[in-house]
């Protein structure tokens, strides 16, 4: 008696395979070409660098080493960034 003949596909496995295929297609769109080939690309080439204008920088209320910064990067709203720059002296 063969029990595999009556086996039904697992919907969760099919959803996982579909998600993996979608991620692969997304990587091809973002990086151009085969996503597996991207493993050979150094990490610093995958970084997205942006330039923005610092609108304000204030000390963090709960941490001495942190600043809370508002940065205009050209998006609809300024970004709020928390950085550890308070440890370094001002120029």
Predicted TM-score (pTM) of the model is: 0.48
Give the pLDDT band of residue 25 (cuts 50, 70, 90). Answer: confident
Q: Quick one: tokens of 81?
A: 């960034």
pLDDT 10s digits, 39-80: 666 777 777 888 999 999 999 999 999 999 999 999 899 999
Residues 80 and 69: beta-carbon distance below 8 Å: yes
The torsion of the CA quartet 52, 26, 33, 41, rounded to 10 degrees, works out to 50
Of the candidates 62, 33, 30, the residue with the CA atom closest to the CA atom of residue 46: 30
């Amino acid at each position: 008696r063969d029990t595999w003949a009556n086996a039904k596909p697992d919907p969760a496995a099919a959803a996982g395979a579909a998600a993996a295929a979608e991620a692969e297609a997304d990587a091809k769109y973002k990086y151009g070409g085969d996503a597996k080939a991207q493993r050979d690309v150094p990490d610093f080439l995958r970084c997205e660098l942006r330039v923005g204008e610092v609108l304000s920088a204030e000390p963090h209320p709960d941490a001495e080493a942190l600043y809370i910064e508002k940065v205009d990067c050209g998006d609809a709203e300024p970004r709020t960034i928390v950085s550890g720059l308070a440890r370094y002296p001002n120029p």
